[in-house]
Structure 1
Amino acid sequence: MTGGASGIGLAVARTLAARGARVAILDRVEADLADDFVCVVADVTDDASVRSAVESAVAQFGGLDVLVNNAGAGAVGTVADATDEEWHRVLDVNVVGPARVSRAALPALRESEHAAIVNTCSIASTAGLPARAVYSASKGALLALTMAMAADHLHEGIRVTAVTPGTADTPWVQRLLAQADDPAAERAALEARQPHGRLVSADEVAHAVAHLASPLSASTTGTHLAVDGGMDRLRLRPRETPSS
């Protein structure tokens, strides 16, 4: 899996390992997790790096059953704020990156009897969020890519799905909060916009990924699983405050 050194990626790696999987983590930095996983340094924006990392993981495991495309880049702002450089950077990581890794993994996945690809998308791919223009566009493209790949590779026995988390309590979100003028107020606002009133946990996303990746989900493909506390589909009335 890509982007597995921290946050949602690390939670997914631990969840899959707890269920008996042997997990290889591909990340830009050397992950201090070698006792638990096979760790390979790879940059999803570099094709040679990706191919080498996938080949190494497949060689060590003797095959590949599941690919989790989780590496991602964030961006804050409107289209008026974003530079061309930011567009290219985020789309390269969030859209072309999963395509590169999937392309490198396909030969091994074709040999598996239970092949699955799970892409980490976002609530931003299905709902309009303020000041997330570049990020939303990239995650929307990744969701569309998920559907296209599912159609292309179904006949090869490869299922392709996506998970679409709401705002999750991850190191990336913590960094965003730290940059806010009032971090506590910003966190409260993020929690309030999710119908269940809190941030999504990385473990909750990880369990959804494990479900989609499992051979028990053999008839699940070309779809996405929302882990967002109802943010995408529910329209609740404001909570009434108790009368004194």
Structure 2
Amino acid sequence: MDLNLRGKVAVITGGSIGIGLAVADALAAEGVDVVMAARQPERLEEEAKRVAGRHGVRTLPVACDVATAEGTKNLIAAVESFGGADILINNAGSGSNETIMEAPDEKWQHYWELHVMAAVRLARGLVPGMKRRGGGVILHNASICATQPLWYEPIYNVTKSALMMFSKTLANEVIKDNIRVNTVNAGLILTPDWIKTAKQLTADKGGDWEGYLQGVADEYAPIRRFGKPEELAAFFVFLCSDRASYSVGSTYYVDGGMLKTV
């Protein structure tokens, strides 16, 4: 199916690993040129080169920390030098792990900058260019935790919920410029972070990290498995395409049935 994406330019934060990298690969497979942003330059450059070689598209690795104003400024400037963007995927983020009673202000502020202000700043910086190009798509990778919180990461829950609301209000503001904004709330996706955590938690208990992850899937997801980053990426690609032309300001759950409400 031709999704009419060939020749467009996408910006993906957190683009060198996990979900962001899977989205970069999936969009590149559709002929999209990709600006990949991440903090670790060596891995980023290696993956950008691989994506370009595999799919025959242009890629631009931009090493920056989007949790800082300077980092988003550098990314916006790089995108402009690349000719502008048609698609923005706000994907950069991580879990938090704390209690409300013990977490200091600094930790709350860091995740606010990473999950919310990065999206705000990139919208301010890239929307004018999208408007000049005739429109675009902005997608926010939030989390099922935005509406169904996990007890051990309250800061993640709160900031992802704020990101979801930002996405909704941004959608209402920029649809007049033919820019569609939506949110994706994923459930259990088998990223390198999940594998790393599972290995750490089982290191002194026999090392059955795969069994640990299966237990998590059995407990939380009726589908009884983790999703693959590629499965989630396919949904992102669809939302970027004209096939989703009437999807505006919505939140979509890709969670294997994990959400407990309707």
TM-score normalised per structure 2: 0.84
Structure 1 spans left out of the alignment, 5+ residues: 236-244
Q: Once the 2 structures are TM-superposed, how far is the Cα of residue 40 of structure 1 from its aligned partner?
A: 0.8
Displacement after TM superposition at 1:191 (Å)? 0.5
Aligned to 1:5: 16
Q: 2:225 aligns with which of 187, 198, 211?
A: 198
Q: How far has the Cα of 1:83 moved from its partner?
A: 2.4
Identify which range, 47-56 or 24-33, moves more after superposition.
Answer: 47-56
Q: 1:84 to 1:179 in 2, by over 3 A?
A: farther
Matches within 5 A, 1:161-200: 161-181=182-202, 183-184=209-210, 186-192=212-218, 193-200=220-227
1:1-244 matched pairs, under 5 angstroms = 1-30=12-41, 31=44, 32-35=46-49, 36=52, 37-60=59-82, 62-181=83-202, 183-184=209-210, 186-192=212-218, 193-233=220-260
How large is the Cα RMSD of the aligned pairs?
1.7
The alpha-carbon distance between structure 1 residues 40 and 65, as it changes in their structure 2 partners (threshold 3 A), is same
Off by >3 Å, runs of 4+ in structure 1: 181-186
- Give, in angstroms, the shift of residue 50 of structure 1: 1.6
Contact 1:163–1:205 (CA under 8 A) maintained in structure 2: no
Tell me if the contact between 1:165 and 1:200 (Cα under 8 Å) persists in the aligned partners.
no
CA spacing shift, 1:206–1:230, aligned 2, 3 Å: same
- Post-superposition shift, 1:218? 1.5
Could you tell me how far 1:2 is from its partner in structure 2? Answer: 0.6
Whichever residue aligns with residue 187 of structure 1, its letter is L
| Deviations, residues 170-193 of structure 1 (Å, cap 9, x unaligned) | 011122222325545542332111
Higher helix share: 2
Q: CA 1:145–1:46 in 2, change beyond 3 Å: closer, same or farther?
A: same
For the residues of structure 1 that align with 2:192 and 2:182, how far apart are their CA atoms? 25
Q: CA distance change for structure 1 residues 41 and 222 in 2, over 3 Å: closer, same or farther?
A: same
Q: Percent of pairs identical after alignment?
A: 29
SS of 2:13's partner is coil
Cα deviation, residue 233, structure 1: 4.4
Counterpart position of 2:3: none
Q: Deviations over 1:19-62 (max 9, x none)?
A: 110011011121113422210112112223322322222322x2
TM-score (norm 1): 0.89
Count of residue correspondences: 234
Q: Secondary structure at the match of 1:91?
A: helix
> Secondary structure, in 3 states, of the residue corresponding to 2:47?
coil
Give a deviation string over 1:115-149, Cα, whole Å, max 9, x none: 01000000101213221211111111111111011
Whole-angstrom CA distance in 1 between matches of 2:79 and 2:174:
22
Q: Give the conservation status (yes or no) of the 8 Å contact 2:188–2:227.
A: yes
CA distance in 1, matches of 2:70, 2:101: 34
